[in-house]
């Protein structure tokens, strides 16, 4: 296609009225996200790390010099139109929860106290069977899981009405649940799933009940943790049938983000890999939950998958066959949210000569995750207004273990993910896609 042959614009409903952002879990990530949005609205902070707020998108040829801001290019909800709601097993307001999380300075939180104190979590759907290290009092009761789902559905409708929202999105930012395989009979189709809700099957974790309630309410659902949640055939099909966009899993923030930046570079240069050893120390509540082997297993699966997919050992056996990949997370309270992630990478080059790379990333987990929450909320709302439904693969950019259609493998390379995301936006606005291959047009 030539630059002159423009695609048709896709019809996108305007971002009119209030957007309710419903957060499951009001912990470190959620409160850092909410406080950040309030700080930006108050003019005391910049939205650093957010593609929707700071990113640009090139259109047409490089010589056209046409690079608008993403937020001016596609119709996104304005930050002033966001209303927050949340569920948590602890009754603390967003202000108290943020103070407890200890991510943001007290001085900053003091300036945001009024809006943060207003956000009080609704009672959670929770069961210690799925998150062993936590117990709280702000928890719903119901005869069975279907009844709990119905309570969520009623609350969602009530929230929308009370806050006069025109649209809602839901983001799972609650604790990582225990590992569950995705092939249980209860997940196969919606009839089996609903029966399992009614019979209180152990296969149905709380995160699935939220996802079900969101989809049934027509609310887009993004999963920021590695637990299955919406990533089961029954719920993906329900999302398609109900015209609801869904995405997940597991925010790609610290160590895995670095991995998906570096691994494509090593592969591009055809440098071999003997092993990649990753370890973390982390002292927040997430670290405490992940100290339970069953929750860690869920996280481990999510973190391990990226290298295999990027390096393609089947295509490059001399370089990547049988490399060793180890991931550890150690709960170490003194560090709080300030995670330290070490990587030792054993590579080899010309004539098999060995080299090493060491990374020591002293990061802040929730500072990295908060802008991702914002982007996902805004892009999922955009997707729904553009009538996109089912799995939103173009949002793989944000996830460690991106959801894909069953016949596809996930794309993990951060740069390919970004290209896919921006091309989806170009497609939505009838602009020519940029693959960097059509050099005759762009040079």
Ligand X SMILES: NC(=O)c1ccc[n+]([C@@H]2O[C@H](COP(=O)([O-])OP(=O)(O)OC[C@H]3O[C@@H](n4cnc5c(N)ncnc54)[C@H](O)[C@@H]3O)[C@@H](O)[C@H]2O)c1
210 versus 320: smaller Cβ distance to ligand X: 210
57 versus 205: smaller Cβ distance to ligand X: 205
Which residues, numbered 275-294, are part of the site for ligand X (CB under 6 A)? Answer: 284-286, 289
Cα angle vertex 414, ends 409, 418, to 5°? 95
Q: Does 175 interact with ligand X (rule: CB under 6 A)?
A: yes
- Work out how close the CB of 355 gets to ligand X at its nearest, in angstroms, rounded to a whole number: 29
- Work out how close the CB of 376 gets to ligand X at its nearest, in angstroms, rounded to a whole number: 12
- CA-based max dimension of the chain: 68
88-97 b/e (C-beta count within 10 Å ≥ 16 → b): bbbbbbbbbb
299 versus 429: smaller Cβ distance to ligand X: 299
- Work out how close the CB of 24 gets to ligand X at its nearest, in angstroms, rounded to a whole number: 5
DSSP conformation class of 124: B
Which residues, numbered 93-122, are part of the site for ligand X (CB under 6 A)? Answer: 101
How far, in Å, CA of 293 to CA of 132, rounded?
A: 10
- Work out how close the CB of 300 gets to ligand X at its nearest, in angstroms, rounded to a whole number: 12
87 versus 187: smaller Cβ distance to ligand X: 87
- For residues 413 and 264, the answer to whether their CB atoms sit within 8 Å is yes
CA of residue 356 relative to chain centroid, distance: 31
29 versus 235: smaller Cβ distance to ligand X: 29
Q: Does 155 interact with ligand X (rule: CB under 6 A)?
A: no
Decide: residue 325, CB within 10 A, 0-12 exposed, 13-18 middle, 19+ buried. middle
Region class of 390: left (phi > 0), else alpha (psi between -120 and 50), else beta: left
229 versus 384: smaller Cβ distance to ligand X: 229
Decide: residue 311, CB within 10 A, 0-12 exposed, 13-18 middle, 19+ buried. buried
Which residues, numbered 201-260, are part of the site for ligand X (CB under 6 A)? Answer: 206, 224-225, 250-251, 253-254
251 versus 276: smaller Cβ distance to ligand X: 251
The site string for ligand X over 122-141 (x = CB under 6 A, - otherwise) reads: --xxx----x--x-x-----
Which of the stretches 33-41, 85-93, 194-202, 310-318 binds ligand X when contact is defined by CB under 6 A? 85-93
Q: How many other CB atoms sit within 10 Å of the CB of residue 105?
A: 9
Task: Tell me which residue of 33, 27, 24, 173 sits closest to 96, measured CA to CA.
Answer: 27
299 versus 426: smaller Cβ distance to ligand X: 299
203-231 b/e (C-beta count within 10 Å ≥ 16 → b): bbbbbbbbbbbbbbbebbbbbbbbbbbbb
Q: Does 52 interact with ligand X (rule: CB under 6 A)?
A: no
Which of the stretches 20-28, 34-42, 154-162, 430-438 binds ligand X when contact is defined by CB under 6 A? 20-28
> Which residues make up the interface to ligand X (CB under 6 A)?
24-30, 87-90, 101, 124-126, 131, 134, 136, 173-176, 206, 224-225, 250-251, 253-254, 284-286, 289, 365-366, 368-369
């Amino acid at each position: 296609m030539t630059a002159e042959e423009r695609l048709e614009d896709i019809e996108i409903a305007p971002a009119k009225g209030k957007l309710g952002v419903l957060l499951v879990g009001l912990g470190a990530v959620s409160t850092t996200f909410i406080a950040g949005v309030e700080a930006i609205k108050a003019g005391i902070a910049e939205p650093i790390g957010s593609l929707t707020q700071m990113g640009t998108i090139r259109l047409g040829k490089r010589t056209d010099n046409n690079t608008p801001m993403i937020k001016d290019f596609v119709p996104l909800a304005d930050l002033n139109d966001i209303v927050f709601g949340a569920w948590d097993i602890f009754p603390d307001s967003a202000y108290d929860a943020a103070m407890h999380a200890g991510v943001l300075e007290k001085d900053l939180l003091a300036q945001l106290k009024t809006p943060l104190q207003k956000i009080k979590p609704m009672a959670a759907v929770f069961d210690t069977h799925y998150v062993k290290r936590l117990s709280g009092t702000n928890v719903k009761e119901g005869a069975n899981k279907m009844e709990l789902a119905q309570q969520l559905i009623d609350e969602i409708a009530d929230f929308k009405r009370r806050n006069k929202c025109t649209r809602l999105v839901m983001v799972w930012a609650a604790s990582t649940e225990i590992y569950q395989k995705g092939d249980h009979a209860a997940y196969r189709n919606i009839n089996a799933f609903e029966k399992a809700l009614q019979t209180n099957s152990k296969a149905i974790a709380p995160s699935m009940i939220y996802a079900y309630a969101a989809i049934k309410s027509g609310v887009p659902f993004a999963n920021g943790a590695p637990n299955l949640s919406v990533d089961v055939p029954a719920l993906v099909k329900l999302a398609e049938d109900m015209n609801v966009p869904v995405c997940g899993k597991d925010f790609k923030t610290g160590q895995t983000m670095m991995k998906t930046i570096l691994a494509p570079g090593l592969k591009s240069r055809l440098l071999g890999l003997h092993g990649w050893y990753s370890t973390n120390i982390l002292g927040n509540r997430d670290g405490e939950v992940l100290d339970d082997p069953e929750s860690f297993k869920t996280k481990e699966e999510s973190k391990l998958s990226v290298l295999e997919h990027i390096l393609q050992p089947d295509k490059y056996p001399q370089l990547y066959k049988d490399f060793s990949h180890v991931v550890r997370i150690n709960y170490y309270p003194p560090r709080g949210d300030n995670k330290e992630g070490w990587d030792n990478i054993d590579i080899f080059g010309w004539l098999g000569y060995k080299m090493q790379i060491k990374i020591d990333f002293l990061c802040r987990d929730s500072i990295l995750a908060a802008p991702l929450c914002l982007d996902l909320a805004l892009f999922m709302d955009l997707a729904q207004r553009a009538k996109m439904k089912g799995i939103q693969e173009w949002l793989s950019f944000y996830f460690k273990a991106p959801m894909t259609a069953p016949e596809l493998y996930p794309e993990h390379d951060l740069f390919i993910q970004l290209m896919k995301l921006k091309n989806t936006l170009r497609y939505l606005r009838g602009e020519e896609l940029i693959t960097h291959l059509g050099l005759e047009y762009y040079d």
